[in-house]
Amino acid sequence: MMEKKLLTVINVLLAVILIFAGCTKDEKPPDPVADMEGNSYKTVKIGTQIWMAENLRSTKYNDGAEITLVPGAKAWNDVLTGAYCWYNNDDLQYRDIYGALYNGYAVMQGNLCPSGWHVPSREEWQLLRDFLGDTTKAGGKLKESGTEHWLSPNKGADNSTAFTALGAGIRYFEGTFSSNQSFSGIWSSTESSQSNLWSTSLYYGDAALGINLRSKKYGFSVRCLKDQK
């Protein structure tokens, strides 16, 4: 009788150990994704979403058409079609690390991201923020930690999601550049009007993830989100 009870206890313990091992086993990270030019991007799963873990740097839409490069300030202010640039018009210094800055018109073409991926909607950004639990701390979980690509103090940054958001800076509607290493604006695909688009914001001085309206004439980063079947 005692042997039977002991065997039952051992079997229960083994079952618990197997369940625990299954729960703690590292999940295979999602595969990298490549754009039309062959640029490869790390990806990361956060909740039910799979995100690029790097900013988009493609100069082509996913049908192979060229995105218009607009370096001049006046031309940037005047353009009402899809355009991109590199921060400070310096691709050698900024391209590989921070990616491109796209205007909102490029986002609204609908084919900026690789096939099977898309620019996330405002609601998909909100889903990410809700999953991270706290609006005032969600940005810290997305920002790369340290001060290599953010100014000090890079408040609250721990990159616990492996999203690795960088302080890529922005291009204002009138064509000037600002805020590299202190701010990151990342587009959504949700319009508020013909001229405005929702975007997200990250800042070196706090740990929040903001969701804001901006003119489509701004130049912001893009993070692509994998389509869900």
Give per-residue pLDDT as tens, 173-182.
999 999 999 9
Give per-residue pLDDT as tens, 198-227.
999 999 999 999 999 999 999 999 999 999
Q: State how far Cα 154 lies from the chain centre.
A: 17
Give per-residue pLDDT as tens, 62-106.
999 999 999 999 999 999 999 999 999 999 999 999 999 999 999
Q: How far apart are CA 198 and CA 139, in angstroms?
A: 17
The model's confidence at residue 26, banded by pLDDT at 50, 70 and 90, is: low
For 207, the token pair is: 């740990």
Instruction: List the one residue out of 202, 149, 197 whose CA is nearest residue 173.
Output: 197
Q: How far apart are CA 163 and CA 91, in angstroms?
A: 23
Domain ranges within the chain, ordered by starting residue:
33-226
Which carries the bigger pLDDT value, residue 16 or residue 161? 161
pTM of the model: 0.88
**Pairing between strand 225-226 and 117-118?**
antiparallel
**Pairing between strand 68-69 and 83-85?**
parallel
